[in-house]
Amino acid sequence: MSSAKDDAMGAREAPEGCIMALDAGTTSVRAILFDEYGRKVAVAQRPLTMHYPHPGWVEQDPVEILSAQVACMIEVQFKSGIHSDRIHAIGITNQRETVIVWDRQTGQPIYDAVVWQCRRTADAVAEIVEDGYGDLIRERTGLVPDAYFSATKITWILDNVEGAREMANAGELMCGTVDTWLIYNLTRGEVHATDYTNASRTMLFDIHRLDWDDDLCEIFRVPRSMLPEARPSSGSFGEVSPDIMRNHPRITGVAGDQQASLFGHCCFAPGSVKNTYGTGCFMLMNLGPKPVMSSNGLVTTIGIAEGGRVDYALEGSVFQAGSVIQWLRDGLRLIDDAAQTAKIASSVPDTDGCYVVPAFTGLGAPWWRSDARGVIAGITRGTDRARLVRAACESMAYQTYDVLKAMEADSGRSLSSLNVDGGAANNPFIMQFQADLLGMDVVRAASAETTALGAAYLAGLACGFWADRDELAGLAEDEKTYAPNMSPERAAALLEGWHEAVRRTLA
C-alpha cells in the first residue's frame, strides 16, 4: 500500500528543491541531496586516505578532505540533475575532534590533520591531569581529559612544526575542526566559524557560557586568536563561493556527526537516546536545557543548538566497534566481507565462554583507560572461527550495554528503547543480541543516513525549508524493531563473563 508521501513523490518527476548535506566522515566524504520528505535523492562519495606515521598516530591530508568534498558537491548535482539554483541550503556534519592548523595569510595547512583516533598526546594529557587541572576541565567542558579531544592536538602541532609557535603567538595561524576547515574554504576565507557541538569537543570551550575559555587556552597554550567563532548549529555560516557553486547557496546547518545523528533521529525530547555503530560506537542522550555532569565515566556535551535553545547531552564513546569487524577481515582474515558475520555468528549457539575485549587503542567510556590493550579471554580447544567471530560481534553489544547503564545511572532515567543507526545496525545478529542484553527494544531507523539527514534538518529549519521540529518528527519512520527474547538470567550470566574479561584487560 502506498503512503501519502509515496503518492506525492510519484506525482512529479523530481522534487522542487533540496537541501544538500556534506558528510565529512573519517574514512570518506559525501554530498547527499534530500527532498522535502527527508528522502535521499542522490549521493556522491569519495574515500579518504588515512596515514599512520608512527604507532598510535593517525593523520589525514586536509587538502584531500577539501578537494574530495568539493568533488562530491559537483558530482551529486550532475548525477541528480538538481543544480545549485534548486538547492535551498547546505548542512555540514563532520568527524569530530580531528583538528587542522593553517596559515592565516596563505590558507595553507602547516601540518596534516591530526585525527580523533590519534593517541600521540596521551602523555601530555596525563601531565595536565597530574598538574591538577582535571577537575577544571571536567567542570567547564563536561569532558574527561583525554587525547581523543582536540586541544592537545593543536598544542602538539604548535610545538612540533618549526616556527608554528611563533606564528601562532603573532596571530598568523588559524585552526579548527573539519567543519571549520570546510566552511573557511567553501566561503573563500570569508567565514572562520564552528558550531557549538563541535566546539564542545575541543576541551577549550565552556559549555555553560557557550564561549572559548581563556583559562583552558592558557593551560593548553593555544592562543585564542587561532580559534573560530562559535555559533548555534542552525543559522548562518556564510555562502558557498560562486566559483564552487554558481548560485552560491548558504551554509545554514553545522553539527558534529554524533549530534547530527541525534537530530536526525528526532531525539528532541529529554531522555531520548540514540546509538551509532560506526568505526566506534557513540551513544547520546538528550538531557534538555540543563547539563548533567557524569559520575560514571561519560562526558557531558552540547547535543542540539537550534531554534534559540541549547539542549545538552550525555555521551558515551566506544573506540572500537566496526573496526573490530575490519580486524576480523584484514587482520585475522577470518572473513572476506562484513556481511558474512551475521550468518557465521548465528551458526553456533554461543561463544562457549570466549570474549573479545577490543581495546586496540585503549578503552573509552565508561572506563577511559588509554593504556588498556585488547584481550581474548576464555579460549578453549573448542574455540573455532565461528565462535571467535561471534565473540567479536558480541563485543559491540557488551560495550553498548555498559555505556547505556552508565547513562541511566547519571540521568536517573530508565530507558525503554534504544534508537540505532550505522553499519552494524544492519547486522541482525548484533541487533538481536543487543536487545537481548539490554532487555529492551532496539529500533533501527528507516533511513540509513540519519547523520547527514540531521545536518540537512538543521540547515532546512534555518532557511525555512521545513517549518519546525514537529514537521520533522512527522517525517520519521522506523524500519525495524528488535525485541528481547533472552531470559534475564541468561543475559546476566553472559554479562558477568564479559565484565570479568574487562577486568583482565584493565589489569
d(CA 259, CA 180): 16
Note the pLDDT of residue 478. Answer: 67
Per cent of the chain over pLDDT 90 is 65
The answer to the question of residue 85 being in a domain is yes
Note the pLDDT of residue 87. Answer: 94
Q: Are residues 223 and 286 in the same domain?
A: no
Average pLDDT, the chain: 90
Q: Are residues 101 and 138 in the same domain?
A: yes
Helix-helix angle 450-463:257-264, to 10 degrees: 80
Q: Are residues 231 and 296 in the same domain?
A: no
Alpha carbon dihedral 317, 322, 325, 331, in 10-degree steps, equals: -80
Average pLDDT over every residue of 38-53: 92
pLDDT at 5 over 70: no
**What is the amino acid identity at position 278?**
G
DSSP, res 356:
E
Q: What confidence category does residue 221 fall into, taking pLDDT thresholds of 50, 70 and 90? A: very high
Note the pLDDT of residue 373. Answer: 87
β-pair partners for 113: 60
Domain span holding position 63: 16-255
Listing DSSP states for 402-462 in one string gives: HHHHHHHHHHT---SEEEEEEGGGG-HHHHHHHHHHHTSEEEEES-S-HHHHHHHHHHHHH
CB 284 within 8 A of CB 404: no
Average pLDDT over every residue of 245-272: 92
Spell out a b/e string for 430-452, using b for 16 or more CB atoms within 10 Å of the CB, else e.
Answer: bbbbbbbbbebbbbbbebbbbbb
The answer to the question of residue 247 being in a domain is yes
Place of cell 541528480: 80
CB 439 within 8 A of CB 414: no
The answer to the question of residue 152 being in a domain is yes
**What is the amino acid identity at position 330?**
D
Average pLDDT over every residue of 138-146: 92
Place of cell 557560557: 209
Cα dihedral sign, 400-54-221-113: negative
d(CA 449, CA 193): 25
d(CA 406, CA 273): 13
d(CA 273, CA 286): 7
SS (H, E, C) 280-306: CEEEEEEEECCCCCCCCCCEEEEEEEE
How far is CA 410 from its chain centroid?
21
Omega before 62 within 30 of 0, i.e. cis: no
Number of domains making up the chain = 2
Q: Are residues 340 and 214 in the same domain?
A: no
Among residues 255, 290, 322, the one where a domain terminates is 255
Q: Are residues 282 and 211 in the same domain?
A: no
Note the pLDDT of residue 423. Answer: 82
d(CA 68, CA 65): 5
- Number of Cβ atoms within 10 Å of the Cβ of 276: 28
Q: Are residues 204 and 146 in the same domain?
A: yes
Q: Are residues 148 and 286 in the same domain?
A: no
DSSP, res 362:
B
Residue 94, phi then psi, degrees to nearest 5: -150, 160
Q: Are residues 185 and 302 in the same domain?
A: no
The answer to the question of residue 9 being in a domain is no
Among 6-15, 68-77, 252-261, the least confident range: 6-15
Reading the block at residue 358, the C-alpha cell is 577490543
Q: Are residues 237 and 276 in the same domain?
A: no
The answer to the question of residue 298 being in a domain is yes
Among residues 230, 255, 280, the one where a domain terminates is 255
Q: Are residues 240 and 269 in the same domain?
A: no
The answer to the question of residue 10 being in a domain is no
Among residues 255, 283, 311, the one where a domain terminates is 255
CB 298 within 8 A of CB 315: yes
Q: Are residues 116 and 201 in the same domain?
A: yes
Q: Is 175 helix (H, G, I), strand (E, B) or coil?
A: strand
CATH classification of the domain holding 22: 3.30.420.40
N residues, the chain: 507
Note the pLDDT of residue 400. Answer: 93
H/E run at residue 445: strand 441-445
d(CA 180, CA 184): 6
CB 240 within 8 A of CB 384: no
pLDDT at 381 over 60: yes
pLDDT at 8 over 50: no
Average pLDDT over every residue of 300-312: 91
Q: Are residues 233 and 271 in the same domain?
A: no
